[in-house]
Structure 1
Amino acid sequence: MLKPGGEILFYFPVAANTFQLYKVLDEQGKWQFLRDYEMYCSPYKDSTNPKDELKIFLNKKGYKILSLNIDEKRYKFPLQYVQKLQQILIPLPVPDQLSGEILKAAVPALRSLNFIGMDENGTEYYDFIYNLAILYAVRI
């Protein structure tokens, strides 16, 4: 922990639609390494008010929040490149021999979750949506 007066600045995804992808893939029962996927998700992923929860948590830990923003971010990745985006889709410890196989399974799972869209040119894309928390605080 920081000494009194020490400052901290950090950011992390509070929620992301990839967390739902992990759940769908885990429910398939085929991917042993996904059993602990929740360890890689934000503890606020299901929160209806993560900002207030973060404030309460940090105040209890002895921090004064100077700035806290949670903003929705959205990126549209052409589907043809999704299989090359393993670190974004599945930043979990995937065994090398399974990385291609899990990415092939990810596309149908993304479809089932309605995370695949089509742009005005008819190109399919993965609609990556997440809420990013950016926090600046000082230790009291």
Structure 2
Amino acid sequence: METQKINVAAILVVALTGIIVTVLAASLLMAYQRVPNYGYVKSVGVGVYWDQACTENVTSIDWGILEPGSNRTQVIWIKNTGNTQVVLNMTTGNWTTPEAENYISLTWNREGQILNANQSISATLTLSVSTTITETDIVEFSFDMIITGTEQES
């Protein structure tokens, strides 16, 4: 019985030693090669400016006093500040008088326009006031104009 315990212990010691030697040998025999990686991250962005040089950011537009049934235009510049081609889109939101959106509309001449990286173009905004606004209590308004550049699918 004593001999069997010694034999089992000896077998475990030999097996454990074999495992350790195998792991050490494998780590010494392992070869590796470092492979550098690089690439470019696409960035999508548009800037809105007052000037053709695209240096003066548009932070707000004062449309002044508008008559029912009138239109007013404003020229701005849009620049693709990203490094990939984009498609332009404009929406409005955050109306202080939500009902005003039914009587006042903002459009532009660049909807769906493709703009290459770093390219800039002029855009004409047109604010239109419906004649039926007189049937409401709306006397002032404000809203956000949101210009989006969505990556152009290749």
TM-score by length of 2: 0.26
Instruction: Considering fraction of residues, name the structure with more helix.
Output: 1
Whose radius of gyration is greater, 1 or 2? 2
Q: Which has the higher contact order (CA 8 A, sep 6+)?
A: 1
